[in-house]
Amino acid sequence: MAEKRFFPLAAAQLNLKRLLLIRLIVLACQLIGILYAFYFLDLRLNYTLITGILALVVAVNIFVAFRVKQKSVVSNQELLGHLLFDVLSLSVLIYMSGGANNPFVSFFLVPITISAAILPWTYTWLVAGISLVAYTILLFYFQPLPALMPADMHMTETREMPSLHIVGMWFNFLASAVLITYFVVKMATEIRAQEQTLNDYREENLRNEQILAVATQAAGTAHELGTPLNTMTLLINEIADENPDNKALQEDVAVLKDQLEVCRTSLKDLVSRADPRQAGNAIAMPLSHFIDQIEDQWRLLRPEVDLQVIVDKINSPRIQVDAPLQQAVVNILNNAADASPDRVELMATWDESSWTLAIRDYGEGVNEDILSTLGSEIGSNKEQGMGVGMILTQATVNRLGGKVLIKPHPETGTVTSIILPMATDG
């Protein structure tokens, strides 16, 4: 079954404009041929029906002209419908004017070529097959014209075997249609794949430049934060020593100490991860163990949030992970907690080829404009967010051969999924 795909807005408008231009050129050629036949050759044709068909083609072209101006995408099925209409209208016109003997019969190659350039190969073969069937029928069924009939064919009969020249034209059309359908589709597919690869490469370079800028600032910030962290630790210890009987204050001080320790540990990890000798080192561990580490780290950061973990810890597989991946998951959990302070859900699933961490929040969801660029450029859905977390997360997961998917939940909130390949060797 052919893939249902929608062209990007700019590409859709451009394809429709090109289709409209080609139709106008073909229509102009047809009009010139009809006028020449009427005024100079004095051919007896059903000009009323022919004019009606051309008027219908003009009406469709007017519709396409308005359609181009609309800011909406065009599906493959819509473009296929336009091309099949062209084949049908051309078949009727050729039938009314000499059938396969009409020199304009070669125009059947036009919709085939257009389809090969912009549509999937299944649609192109469909257009080519219908065009070939129409051409074949027109070899035997048509309204004859004396000026176009070969000398060895009776003008009053339409079902005799066509001349060798006409049969040769049919074989030439068959070969041309097959070559266009196969090679043009192949070349167009390769060009689109190269363009997509180039676009992905540009996006990755842009993301890497942003990450490098963040990393440069982070290196200096990590060094600068050491002094205020030590100062805060000393002040907290002094407050605790000065108020030994204040239980509520002692509990708050304990929480602050834990938070400061998390900050200090994160800074140490940041420095150690920057060591080139440690870069890219992944270790194998059970998925349940990895989730336990994430849960322990995150509950220190956000103890007030109810984290619901859903995972089969008994049968969990072994996976390949590294320290940046753990931080990437924590970043997503923090984003979920910011959107849904009361409740966050973490669910782990897997199959033979990959494993997935799905993090769901119960907030209002992500703005669609930001959703389209989230993870590819710096931007945030939060008023005070810097938009760096998703950039780093996307880069970390991509480096491990995975991907990050963000989509709204059918009920409420957002689901962010990290999908990574399964470890090939434990």
Could you write out the DSSP letters of every residue in 260-306? HHHHHHHHHHHHHHT-GGGTT--EEEEHHHHHHHHHHHHHHH-TTSE
Q: Do 398 and 292 have their domain in common?
A: yes
| Whether residue 287 sits in one domain with residue 254 | no
Query: Quick check: is 303 in a domain?
Result: yes
Kindly report each contact of residues 134-137 with a partner whose C-beta sits within 8 Å and lies 24 or more positions away, as own/partner.
Answer: 134/87, 134/90, 134/91, 134/108, 135/100, 135/105, 135/108, 135/170, 135/173, 136/170, 137/91
The verdict on residue 251 lying in a domain is yes
Reported residue count of the chain is 426
Say if residue 371 is in the same domain as residue 400.
yes
DSSP string, 88-132: HHHHHHHHHTTGGGSGGGGGGHHHHHHHHHHS-HHHHHHHHHHHH
- How high is the pLDDT of residue 129? 94
Tokens 């014209």 found at:
145
Q: Are 143 and 232 part of one and the same domain?
A: no
With residue 414 as reference, give the H or E element that holds it.
strand 414-421
Res. 47: pLDDT tops 90: no
Same domain, 317 and 252: no
pLDDT, tens digit, 9 for 90 and up, residues 336-349: 888 888 889 999 99
| Residue 202 included in any domain | no
Domain identity same for 22 and 155: yes
Q: Is residue 44 part of a domain?
A: yes
Pairing between β-strand 306-310 and β-strand 414-421 as defined by DSSP bridges: unpaired
Residues 239 and 142 in one domain: no
Count Cβ neighbours within 10 Å for each residue of 240-275 and write b for 16 or more, e otherwise.
Answer: beeeeeeeeeeeebeebeeeeeebeebbeebeeeee
Nearest-angstrom CA–CA distance, 64 and 86: 13
Neighbours of 426 (CB within 10 A): 10
d(CA 382, CA 203): 23
Residue 279: per-residue pLDDT = 47
Task: Please indicate, yes or no, whether the overall pTM of this predicted structure exceeds 0.85.
Answer: no
Q: Are residues 231 and 89 in the same domain?
A: no
Q: Is residue 6's pLDDT more than 70?
A: no
Residue 256 sits in the same domain as residue 327: no
The percent helix, strand, coil of the chain (3-state, each to 5) is: 65, 10, 25
Do 111 and 227 lie in one domain? The reply is no
Q: Cα dihedral sign for 271, 277, 281, 283?
A: negative
User: How many structural domains compose the chain?
Assistant: 3
> What pLDDT is stored for residue 156 in this prediction?
43
- Give the domain extent around 87: 9-162
**Which has the minimum average pLDDT: 92-101, 107-116, 143-152, 173-182?**
143-152
